[in-house]
Structure formats: structure tokens, C-alpha cells
Structure 1
């Protein structure tokens, strides 16, 4: 009868074959990427007009899945990409919500027609802004075509988990598209920055008078407003869509979920006492104004407007991905630790031509951060610093300083294959016995 070592030697080829099959199955399961392309409902814009609607119950992948990327761009009826020089994409955002299963209505609302359906439940992200804004899962602006949104393996944004969906409800998705047609505009930059004087707006979309000193921003370029055109300019109205591409994988034991956090440099957070003890209340204003440095007598390199805020993190975990969102005039945003260590820095890229994705003078992309998994860990209640920088050679209205961060609460667990088990067992036998000797 063969001894124990000889029996192991005879089993090695069989177990190695099994290990290759299992390893292949693991790889195949972890990389079975799916992709789908959808169109938003049609919106029609004429020169100077504004689209800012919220489209509910949009087409979206179904099931218990892990989202891997979401990209979008404005296209015409023929599917051709539309230049930012003609239609400026101020922003688009995609958010999750829960609706009763028997409610099959597709809902489209502009900002003045808030969603009032009874029983609808928000499925917002894990971010710290709490007053209805910035609850999206994905969202970009003019930088949409050249900003990476992919999430590296084995991480993903888990959605569609039956355990998280309330009884009697189903998971649905909403998309908000804010686009400004600048063909024939008297002041294109002013239109994209929503300067109130160019829109001849004195009240908000809800009919309230604008705040004293408010020069421009979202309150002046809401759905249906009109930016001033050059005298005598005439242009055709045209039908447009937001074309969006979603990539995902089915959820399995190899996927490590990440949580979404969106920070806002305008956040006016404060501590308050509640029934459960001390808590943080966040009021994110989303936009702010950059005043020209000429008004302060500064010139040259001094013309940089820097806005900073410290934020106490209500979470902990490993940073997997980071990117900032800025508007025209932006020169970069950085998230720091309190000691000055950089967690992620995101810098805009400006176009140099006329074709879609390279429009001169427009931000056409933002650099992203993909730290080595495990290299950057944020601890619970750690204080971070968010900084947003803009050029202040001229005034800018309605600018944003947002930062989007994906955080994993844990790292992937080591995978032990049959091969590693055989190797350990075989090595231990080799150490204890000699099977042959060299001449």
C-alpha cells in the first residue's frame, strides 16, 4: 500500500485540475459585467430656454445588483452628441426611491411640481446632507463625458436588496436633467452661471422674492425660464434626450459593498442635543458666489478664491473612489485630513476645441482618485477638511464645491482555493520526507 506522501502525490494532479476550474469560476462570476443604454424622456429646448425637470420611474436595471458605473450625455433625436457650446449641461443626478407596487404611473415634474404622491419613500445615499438635497447615487455636469465613474473590482454599489425594500413597495429610480440652450445667447457664460439679470427673474420658482444681493444661481434658471438672446437671433426648437449607460454585476459573495457620501463646501453644520444624545445637523446650500479679486485690489496669482470647511465624519471605512464637482472657473478641490494629509484631489480639465467632449472654455472632465484599497482609512468621528478653489479674475455666480466619495466598511476577504490548500498540505509533507535525492 502506498504511504501517505505517495497518496498525496497521486492526488495532486486531480486537485490541481479542480483548483483551476474553481479559480476560473470565481473569475467568471466576479467579472460577469452587464451593460445597458437608456434614454430619458424627451425634452424640447429653443435658444435661451431652460430644462430642469425630474423624471420618475425611469428605465433602470432590475434585481439585486451591484452598480459599477453610470455615464450620461445629451444627444439629439438622431443620437448625435450635442456640444456644450449649444446646450450646456448644468447637471444631471440619479436618485433611488421606493413606490407602492400597484402605482404604475410614470411621473414627470418640474421643480414647481414637487412629488406629493402619498407613500413614496426616499432611498437616498449615506451622505451627511440632510435637507432633501444631494441624496443622489450618481451625478455630474458639463464634465460628464470625460470623468471616470467606474468602480474597481471587487467593489460595487449594492441596490435592489429585497431585505431593504419595504413590504408592498418596489425600488425605482429618478433622474433630474438641468440643461440650458445657449444658442444665440447674449452672454453664454452668464447664462450657464444663471445670472438673474440675464433671465429677468425677480422671484423663485415658488413665487418667493429672491434674497437681497442674490446675483445668480439655481433660483434664477429654473425650468421654463429664458436667458437673454442677441437682438434679432432666431433659432429652431429641437428635441433632446439624456442618454445614459449603466454597468452592473449581479450581487454575489465576491462583491464588497461601498457607501456613497457627498460633501458640500457650503455645509453649515452644527451640533445639537437630541433625544438620543448629541447629533450633527447639516444644512447644505449647494451653491455659492465667487467675488472678483479686482474688488479687493488683488491681481495675478492672488486671484484665487478658496473656500474651506471642516466636517466631522459620522462613519469609518476605506476610500475606494473620489471626485469633485465644480463649475466654470473651478481650478480644483481637495479633501484633507486635519493634519494636512491629502485624501483625494480632483482637478478639472478644460476643452480646447469645438467637438463634443472638447469644448473650448468648458470643464469637460474631472480627475478622479482610485487609492490602493486599504491605503486610506477614515475613522469614525474623524474631522476632515474640504477645500474648493476657483479663479476669481472675474465674478462667478451659482458655483458648486461638491465632493463625491465611495467608502467600503471592510476590505475583501482572502479567497482560499483548492490550489492553496494542496500547496500547504504538499509543502508540509515535503518538509517531513525525502522523495528522491540528487546525484
Structure 2
């Protein structure tokens, strides 16, 4: 039998070994059909009923080396690893951003603010088209569980290329997680839409007074704010949550075709100002006619490069119906529709968007020319008003030398099963409806057919 001192030494060594293994996440990498996969947890998110967490977490765990990213999926879980439903904690959004940090600089603060000199930090961002505010490589919201982010073969998002990393810097990743706890809320949906009156907020997070006409949005539900709950005592009940994210990748090789990430915003001002200022959020006014109860918003931009579209998906908030990206000649580049939950369990929450359909065109079938004018359309229900909603659209493009006046292929939207829980049947029904709608010959005065008609 071991002595007490020996037992204590063994116990101490065991804890040390476990700590080392916990830090060495690469030891738990799985391999399937040549694709590596790793599951990570974000730093702890502590919440109580009505609370808001909207922090930036720097230097998160992420695969190392010169690789091709194949997907990035995420969801909110509790300390037991169980999925947390949206009607308890609403995932407003999460984004994953790549950056370069000067080697040897470690004074990063985890309070939502940069904790080092600007010269020590270089944001790499995606390929555009917005000038600021939308620099993420990946990012979704409430729809995260049932939205496919997989990059099809032979394509991949190239990261970790040592030739691209500035001398003296190293590549790192950050997460921004915006989670709103709506347990016991007086108006749960109002909390998710960041309605200012529910947060009793009159200044933004920087102490600047809000415009009197600002009804709701990100400026009212920043980190540390509190949405109104029924029982004030509930604020003392806290729990710890995490964003569990799964990254899939392959080692980089010459056989992989690199793709670039482009994000469009229906609030982009380019068509009026010539500058890609993306306002990110907007409001939907309640319809007073009682007719179609659909609010449509559009924006147009000039595409900066040329290439083949290999993937596309929209990001909408509750009330969102569908969104589509149109080419200059009115063809559909990709359309994406909201999937709403019908139950109470995580991933099927009634009243919430739990997924978005994605486009996977046949390779080479959907082309965009350099300088081509693209139009983004987002449709929301206007049966009631909505504040702080978004209308974003992600596409992945394999670049080419295609000119704007070259022939382009008109395609029908292609769908893939998002996950194994039966979305395929629903997706096929949506596909048929979309194809029929877009085969109508009549075009609108804007040069394309509205997806809401």
C-alpha cells in the first residue's frame, strides 16, 4: 500500500498530466476519409436570466499549420456538454476571425477590447466586399445547428501559409460570441431583437447617447446589459455555458483549389455612395396594408474579382423568410431560405430560425465576372415589426480570369442535406418551389424576379 505522501505525489502527477492533455487539443484530432476534425470549447460564458454576453476571445484553440479549412460548425452547450435551446440562451451571432499577432506579445485582455498596441495586431479578414465590420471567415447565429458550412472538394479555404504571414508575426484566431439569456424574460423575442426599452438603455457601450429614433439593435444589447425579466431575484441564478465549435480541415496540397470568402450586406451603401459601407443591421416596419406582409430590401455592389461560386448561404434573424443573390443579367447566383423550428428541443425551437438552406452548384456552373453588378435581396415578414435584423450573404469563390462580358451559366439552386435529422425532405420541397418560381418568364423592372413573389 502506498504511503500518504506517495499517494499525494501520484495524484499531483495525474492532475498535471490531465492538464497537459487538456492543453494539447491536437492529441484528440480524429480522421475520417482524409479529413481531420477537432472539437473545441470557447472560454467560459457566465450568464443569468436576462443577461447579455458579447465578448471577443483572442488566441482561441485552432488547428495549426498550412491547411485547407473544410468547415466550422458551432453551438452553445452547458457544463455537462448538453445543447442549450434558443429559448433559454439566444445565440445572436458568433464569428471566427483570423489575425496576425506579433511574436512575444502576450498582453491580450479578454474583456472585448484589444489589449495590445495596434502595430502588434493585424486583422487579415475575408476578401470583402464590406469595408469594415464583417471581417469574419465563418459566422452564423441561431441557425448554426442546421446550416451546412462544408466546403466541397476539391476546394478549401487556405490558412497558415507561412509565405503570407508577416515576418515576426504568428497566425491566430479570435471568436466573438453574442449570447442573450432569455430565461424568465418579460418579452423573450423582444430581448433577442435588442429592443432598447427592454434593456433600459439610452447610451451605447461607449457612453454616447443613442438617437431618439433608435428603437433597437446592437447598440442596446452590448456586453453586460440586462433585458427585463419577470422576477428580479432570478438575476442571482447563474450558469456557465460554452460555444462548442468543430473545425474540419485537410493538410494543404497542390491538388486543393483555393477559394475566397465574400460577404454581402443588404444595407451596403455602394449603389448610392460608391463606397461599400455596410450598416449591418436594419429594422422591419409592421405592415399597415394587411396584404402580403413581406418587407423586401435590396442592395447592389460591384464584384471585385471573377470566378466560380462553389457555396452560398444567407444569414437572417427571426422573421426572415429568404434571401437571394442575383447576377447582373437577373440570373440567380444562389438563394437561401430560413428553416424554422416547430418544437421545444435544442435545434427545433418553435419561432426561431434553426437553419438556412445552402447552395452547392456543380463546379464551374455558376460564374461571376469581374466588375459585374450583383444584387442582394432579403425578405422579412412584416406581420409585426422587427428591430436589429440582418441580411448577410456568404459565398465562396474560386477565382478565374473571367471578364464581365463573358457568357455565364444560369443554374438551378442545388441543395444538400444539412444534417441527418430529416432536412432533406424539407429541402427538396423548397427546391421545387424555388425552381418553379424562378422559371417564370416575367421579369421585374429591376431586371430580376423577386423571390417573394
| TM-score bucket (shorter structure) | 0.7 to 0.9
Q: Match of 1:183?
A: 183
Q: Match of 2:39?
A: 37
Contact 2:342 2:349 in 1 (8 A): yes
**TM-score when normalising by structure 1:** 0.82
Q: Match of 1:21?
A: none
Shifted more, 353-362 versus 99-108: the winner is 99-108
Contact 2:108 2:114 in 1 (8 A): no
Task: Say if 2:342 is the partner of 1:348.
Answer: no
Contact 2:67 2:158 in 1 (8 A): yes
After the TM superposition, which residues 259-408 of structure 1 pair with which residues of structure 2 at under 5 Å, given as runs?
A: 259-269=260-270, 281-294=275-288, 298-301=289-292, 303-408=293-398
Contact 1:194 1:218 in 2 (8 A): yes
Contact 2:108 2:115 in 1 (8 A): no
Shift of 1:230: 1.2
Deviations 1:2-49 (A, max 9, x none): xxxxxxxxxxxxxxxxxxxxxxxxxxx995210101110001000000
Q: Distance in 2 between matches of 1:106 and 1:220?
A: 26
Q: Distance in 2 between matches of 1:196 and 1:100?
A: 39
Deviations 1:311-346 (A, max 9, x none): 111111000000000001000000011222111000
Shifted more, 383-392 versus 263-272: the winner is 263-272
After the TM superposition, which residues 36-435 of structure 1 pair with which residues of structure 2 at under 5 Å, given as runs?
A: 36-105=38-107, 107-110=109-112, 113-114=113-114, 116-118=116-118, 119-131=120-132, 133-231=133-231, 234=234, 236-269=237-270, 281-294=275-288, 298-301=289-292, 303-410=293-400
Deviations 1:229-286 (A, max 9, x none): 11456262100000000000000011000000000000112698xxxxxxx5311100
Shift of 1:101: 1.4
| SS of equivalent residue, structure 1 residue 99 | strand
Cα gap change, 1:103 to 1:350, in 2 (>3 Å): same
Q: Match of 1:4?
A: none
| SS of equivalent residue, structure 1 residue 145 | helix
Q: Distance in 2 between matches of 1:260 and 1:334?
A: 17
| SS of equivalent residue, structure 1 residue 281 | coil
* Structure 1 unaligned spans of 5+: 1-28, 273-279, 412-439
Contact 1:50 1:225 in 2 (8 A): yes
Q: Distance in 2 between matches of 1:352 and 1:318?
A: 36
Cα gap change, 1:30 to 1:260, in 2 (>3 Å): farther
**TM-score when normalising by structure 2:** 0.79
Contact 1:256 1:410 in 2 (8 A): no
Q: Distance in 1 between matches of 2:182 and 2:210?
A: 24
Q: Distance in 2 between matches of 1:39 and 1:371?
A: 32
Question: Which of the pair has the greater relative contact order for Cα pairs under 8 Å at 6+ separation?
Answer: 1
Deviations 1:362-395 (A, max 9, x none): 0000000000010011000000110000000100
Q: Distance in 2 between matches of 1:115 and 1:213?
A: 34
Cα gap change, 1:101 to 1:271, in 2 (>3 Å): farther
Contact 1:30 1:254 in 2 (8 A): no
Cα gap change, 1:90 to 1:222, in 2 (>3 Å): same
Deviations 1:46-93 (A, max 9, x none): 000000000000000000000000000000011111010100000000
Shift of 1:300: 3.7
Task: Report runs of 4+ in structure 1 exceeding 6 Å deviation.
Answer: none
Q: Distance in 2 between matches of 1:359 and 1:66?
A: 33
Q: Distance in 2 between matches of 1:410 and 1:249?
A: 23
Contact 1:35 1:248 in 2 (8 A): yes
| SS of equivalent residue, structure 1 residue 144 | helix
Shift of 1:106: 5.0
Deviations 1:275-320 (A, max 9, x none): xxxxx531110000000002xxx1142x110001111111110000
Contact 2:195 2:217 in 1 (8 A): yes
Q: Distance in 2 between matches of 1:341 and 1:137?
A: 26
How many residue pairs match? The answer is: 369
